[in-house]
Each structure stands twice: as structure tokens, then as C-alpha cells.
Structure 1
Amino acid sequence: MTSPFLSLPRAVASEGVDEGVPAHYGNPVVEQRRLEQGRAIVDLSGRGILTVTGPDRLTWLHSMASQSLDRLPAGGSAEALFLDASGRIEHVAHVLDDGETTWLVVEASEAEPLRAYLDRMRFMLRVEVEDVTGEYAVVGAMSTDALDAAVPAAAPNGVGLDWVDPWREASGYQYSHETDHPAALWRFIERVVPRDALADAAAAVEAGRVEAAGALAAEALRIAAWRPRFATEVDEKAIPHEFDWLRSAVDLGKGCYKGQETVAKVLNLGRPPRRLVLLHLDGSDTVLPAPGEEVVGEKARPEPAPGEAPERKVVGQITSSAMHYEMGPIALAVVKRAVPGDLPLIVESHGIDVAAAQVEIVPADAAAAIEVPRLPRLGVRH
């Protein structure tokens, strides 16, 4: 499905996870400012959309997801994770309900796998799952004013379909020690619209009623807000704690969902095995590391012999990177838990060593939420 936004002047198509929508319109840095100021919209029509209908839909989804969904009000928004039995993230859904239908906005690659999974779990319940990506699409913005200037929200059951990202205000447990969390600047809204209305939104941009920003602008602001994304940060080993995802997508007061034991155990008794960090990158060589490139640290060792290079050790990898309009080159990376928070890091990219200073999102000292008292050792009394 070709997006009408790709026909706008200066539109350059995205590659990778955002393929099918514009990456930018000639100036990604200016587009970031417009998007952050609430003056621009971004084409997210590459995302997938599922619907769940039937009287049992919310209680059914509630029973499988990490988030409480059984009392989601009409017009309400939530973020939910679907985990495997070991607590690893299998699917992430942006959830909204209109009183008759529950809408799940997901990554394009996840629409069919999540639909198939949910369909297998229906059993005898009164629910129906459908992939409606061909009929509906998503447009994003930092303000409803920008969205309203472009296209009205779909409202097939009388309630407008605007998903408001809960990342801005932590409703769950937060590992980050930051009191001034950058999520406060992330006011993202995803509006579901009829797919044939995308042409009207593109026409509104061309007529000057609203401005447009590309996927690169949205990604730069997302990274700066420390906001994890399924398509970029999650791999086959990922658990929610590693990304501070408990703050927006996990209700610790509910139980009896797949993976819940691991969620509780790691939070209460353990530590995340890996952790998400923001990297401020040296821009001297104008190199922006690509996702998947290795992050290394120099091993602590006695003074090397003259001419001997310090020994390096791979400690993680880049998941997302961007050129931010204020901070310059930045990236999100997943590193090992044991990496000290003040350790200078290096990203090996295109044969160049890019120096990186880390900002802890999930701190290296993230500890168990419950301190378990040590029991006396059992042994023979003398």
C-alpha cells in the first residue's frame, strides 16, 4: 500500500522498520522542531491495526496481557505487552476501546503474528479478531490541533480513535532515578483514520493547513524521550524490566497472565540482566551508528606494554540512533547489567571508533524492590 504522503514535495521514502512512509521532506532537523511544537503530523500508515469485537473482548485481553484492560473506558488508552512463559516480550500493542470494539495498533510485522496468536486463544469466548490494516491507518502528532487540521479520527462507533501514549506519566514501577524524566516532553498521539482519508491528510499538508514531519523526526524525539519501541529495541531475549517498560505497560497489581511470575520475580528479588541506556555520540566524524552495531568497553587491566592497545570487550549493541536537533547524534543501546554507569563506551561503526557517553535509563544499580532478609546458615551447633 503506497502512502499518499510519499507524493508530497521533497518526500524521501523510509527504509527498514518504517518502510512505506516518508523518512523526511528535506530537513529532518527542522521537522523535529515542528513535530515537538505540535505543528506537524507524521505518517504512521505503515503500522498494523487489529480489532477485537464481542462482549468478552476486554476481560479476554485482560487475562493475557501485562496491563489491566478489563475496565478500559470508551476512549481510553493503554499499552500492553504479551509475554511468553519465561517473561520475554512477544508482542506490544497500543490499545484503545470505543465501547464496542477494542483496537490494537502494532508494528506492521506484528499484525499477522499477533492476530494468529489471539485467534488461537479464543476457545469458546465471545470474541472475534480481525486485521483491519487494509481499511484503517495511523497518523501521529504531538497535539490534537495538528491532527484536527489534517484529518478527523475514525469513529465507527461514535467515539474518536485517538491513542494517547502513556509513556509521559509513569503509572507503574520506574527503575530510572531521574525526577526530571525526558518522557515529560513526549506527548505523542496516534490517531486511527480510514485508510482512504490519508489522501485528505496529505492534501491538508500540501494546502498549508498543517505541516508534515517524517519518520526520522519522530524517531529522534522518541529516542530523546527514552521511549522503547518493539520494532527496534526488542529481541528474542527481551524482558520488560530491561527497558523500564514497567512504568507504562505493566500493572503490577494484576496476576494470572503468561510471564507474570518472571515479571514479579525479577522486580522483587532480582535485577534486569541487561539495561537500556541513552548514548551521546561523538559527532566529529559525522558517523551515525546503525542498529545492531556493537558497543564496546575497555577492560580494566594492568598498564599495557608500550604500543599495546587496551583490550576491548563487547558490552552491548545499538538498537536505535538519530541526529537530534539539540543533542546532536544520540542512540539507544542495550548493554549488560554489569557495565558501570560511568564507563566510557565506544561504538565500532563503519570502521571508525565513535566515543559514547552513557545516560542510564535502567541504572546499573537497579536492585530488587523487596529486600529479603538473610537467613542464618544451617549447620552443626557446637
Structure 2
Amino acid sequence: MTVVMVEDLDPSSADAGVAAHYGDPMREQRTLATAVGLVDRSNRDVLAVPGEERASWLHTLTTQHLSDLSAFTGSELLVLSPHGHVEQHAFVTEDGETAWLDTEPGAGAGLLKYLEMMRFFTRVEPRDATAELAVLSLVGPGAGDLFPDLEEPRVGAVPGPKFAAGSVPPQATSRYSVRAYEGGLARRVPLGVDLLVPRSAKTAVIEKLGLPMAGLWAYEAIRVEHRVPRLGWETDHRTIPAEASFLQHAVHLDKGCYRGQETVARVHHLGRPPRRLVLLHLDGIATDQPPAHGTPVVSGDREVGFVGTAVRHHELGMIALAVIKRNVPDDAELKIGDSVASIDPA
């Protein structure tokens, strides 16, 4: 099997350490879109938060309602700045003894530093567990069939502006079913099933599953198609949750005080976030190379946003997630470099 690593193509990439593709990125994408494939995402950082007060502690520090997070349940959370800007995003997976947080490659150190600063006298012991657990993702419509005992993800609707206090259920807005698996955990998520397995057992788990391997390029194409934001790609230093579509999965809008809550509440009730996340279709005529992260999106003679992640999709062609000004109309003709781009209004 041909294995092309991310760092072979881009030595500076934050995604170094996993395969970009296995020789045929388009075939790998089709597998993830129509069946099920296995993506090695073991470059993700993992933190462990044991301690009897972990649920209530994480509840007070993050955007998610976690005080009642029960054993073998997962969700998503954000850590915000005092002004409401997104600083961290993580999946949380509770096994009854420890809350496991997996986040972007390189983001774990910053998240751990913040958690350690906020310990005070709380009975929790956060630590870096990246060397302990590796993340593998089973992606595709057939992923759930391999774990039929895991329930479909449950994601609540975002309430409208000026919703009545107490109308949002006091529970995590996204609830992911979890079970033990091969010395680790399996977690049902919107794109399939994530496995958090002992790093020493990663190769054995891959061999046992016997699934077609797909590289990170294929995974990113599916993620972009489904408009799933990624910390550091669809966010910058001033991103607020409503701008990058984090509200539904990672933010509870009626759970009480946390850092940055005032900004989240004000923007939501006014209904006017300064920017929005969109899916763009690029003409692909000027170049067949996806634009780089951060490439400006231009309307007329003014810059209106930036490209987050751009990919070549096996059906849709060149597409990209971008963060643009809220007042840019859906029918605007946009330019990204020499390419013409249009907003997918779906």
C-alpha cells in the first residue's frame, strides 16, 4: 500500500504525523461517502481529566452544559476568551472515571495550561494523555452498523433570539453515545464513529477492523462537504461561536455564567454575528490547486473574508469553507485569487 504522509507534502503542516492519502484520494473519498473507511487521526492531542468534581468543573469553565454528563456519554465544548472569542474546541468523552478531551494537533498544551490555571482547590487532575490514547475515525454511512449498540448522535436545535429563560433543556446540546472498546472507547459522532484506543494497540485495532484506509485528505473533503468547522482553520483570533457554526454542537445558551458568555448571549439575542461560515464552490479554471488556508475572499474591490479549508471533492469539484462578512449576499460573485467562487446557499 502506498502511504503518503502529510509532512511529505507540507513539512510545516499542523497535521504532520498521519497519512494524507494511500495512493488514490478520490477513491478514498468515495469510500467515506458511500460505505465506511478508517482514517488515522492519531495526531490529535488528548487530555485526561480524572477527579470527582470533573463534570461540574468543566461545566463552569466551558460553553457546554456538562454538570450531568453521565458515564459513557460524549459531547463537544469550547473555551472562550473574556471577550467571547473561541480559544479552544474539544470533544469530551466520559467513561465514569475520567473525562477525556481530544482536540486539534498542537492545541492540547494551551488547553491543558488553561485547565491547570483554573484548578484552584477543585478535586481534578488534568494531564496530557496524548501518549496514552490515539484517535481513529470510522467515517461513512456504514460506520454506525459496525457499532449498532451506539445510539445516533442527538443534537438539539439552537433556540431563536430572545428565547424564554428555562426553555433550553438543562443538558449538553450534543450528546454522543459511548462504549468501551479494545481497552479504550468508541464514540458515535455525526460523521461516523471515533475510537480512542491505547496508542500501543493502534496497529492491532486497525488490523482487526480490516477496513479500507482513507487519508486525511479524504476526511477533510467529507468534513468540508458537511460544513463542520475546525479550530484554527475556520477560526481566527476574533472568531465568536456564532460565526463558525459552533452553537448547535458546543454551546448551551441558557446554562449560566462562563467566561465569554456575555458576548455569546448579546450576539445571539441581537441575531447579528459579524461574520458567517459558508460553503463555496470554486470554478477551478484558473488553477487546479485548492487555495491555501487564510487566502482572502474578495467581493468587488474589498476583502470580505478568508478561506478556512479548501479541498478537491470527488463529486463537487473544488470547494472550500470560508468565513465571510454577514452582509455578503448569497448571490455575490466572489474571487479567491484568480478563481471565481459562489456561495452554496443550502
Pair in the same fold by TM > 0.5: yes
User: Could you give the per-residue CA deviations for residues 347-374 of structure 1, whole angstroms, max 9, x where no partner exists?
Assistant: 01xxxx101011247xxxxxxxxxxxxx
Match of 1:290 among 289, 292, 305: 292
Match of 1:358 among 332, 343, 346: 343
Which of the pair is proportionally richer in strand? Answer: 2
How many angstroms does 1:37 deviate by?
3.1
Q: Which amino acid aligns with 1:172?
A: V
Q: Which amino acid aligns with 1:319?
A: G
Instruction: Judge conservation of contact 2:39–2:139 (CA < 8 Å) in 1.
Output: no
Measure the CA separation in 2 of the matches of 1:32 and 1:314: 32
Q: Which amino acid aligns with 2:310?
A: S
Q: Which amino acid aligns with 1:359?
A: D
Residues 211-226 of structure 1: pairs in structure 2 closer than 5 A: 211-226=212-227
Match of 1:172 among 158, 162, 166: 158
Corresponding residue SS for 1:265: helix
Residues 358-377 of structure 1: pairs in structure 2 closer than 5 A: 358-360=343-345
Instruction: Judge conservation of contact 2:143–2:192 (CA < 8 Å) in 1.
Output: no
Measure the CA separation in 2 of the matches of 1:33 and 1:66: 35
How many angstroms does 1:61 deviate by?
0.3
Name 2:3's counterpart in structure 1. Answer: 11
- The alignment of Structure 1 onto Structure 2 pairs a total of residues equal to 312
Name 2:232's counterpart in structure 1. Answer: 231
Name 2:132's counterpart in structure 1. Answer: 135
How many angstroms does 1:125 deviate by?
0.9
Give the superposed CA RMSD: 2.5
Q: Which amino acid aligns with 1:12?
A: V
Measure the CA separation in 2 of the matches of 1:36 and 1:169: 21
Match of 1:25 among 10, 19, 22: 22
Q: Provide structure 2 residue ranges, at least 5 long, that are not aligned to the other structure.
A: 162-188
How many angstroms does 1:287 deviate by?
3.1
Name 1:72's counterpart in structure 2. Answer: 69
Q: Provide structure 1 residue ranges, at least 5 long, that are not aligned to the other structure.
A: 1-8, 153-159, 176-184, 299-311, 362-382
TM-score, scaled relative to structure 1 = 0.76
Name 2:90's counterpart in structure 1. Answer: 93
Corresponding residue SS for 1:138: strand
Q: Which amino acid aligns with 1:261?
A: E
How many angstroms does 1:336 deviate by?
1.5
Measure the CA separation in 2 of the matches of 1:189 and 1:174: 30
How many angstroms does 1:326 deviate by?
1.0
Q: Which amino acid aligns with 1:291?
A: H
Name 1:157's counterpart in structure 2. Answer: none
Measure the CA separation in 1 of the matches of 2:86 and 2:311: 24
Does structure 1 residue 317 correspond to structure 2 residue 321?
Answer: no
In our comparison, the structure showing a higher alpha carbon Rg is 1
**Where does structure 1 differ by over 6 angstroms across 4 or more consecutive aligned residues?**
none
Measure the CA separation in 2 of the matches of 1:186 and 1:121: 31
Instruction: Judge conservation of contact 2:143–2:193 (CA < 8 Å) in 1.
Output: no
Measure the CA separation in 2 of the matches of 1:248 and 1:145: 22
Corresponding residue SS for 1:222: helix
Does structure 1 residue 119 correspond to structure 2 residue 116?
Answer: yes
Change (3 A) 1:255 1:360: farther
Name 1:274's counterpart in structure 2. Answer: 275
Name 1:190's counterpart in structure 2. Answer: 194
How many angstroms does 1:39 deviate by?
2.4
Residues 316-355 of structure 1: pairs in structure 2 closer than 5 A: 316-348=305-337, 353-355=338-340
Measure the CA separation in 2 of the matches of 1:187 and 1:233: 18
Measure the CA separation in 1 of the matches of 2:254 and 2:220: 32
User: Could you give the per-residue CA deviations for residues 35-79 of structure 1, whole angstroms, max 9, x where no partner exists?
Assistant: 233421000000000011111000000001101011112111111
Percent identical among aligned pairs is: 42
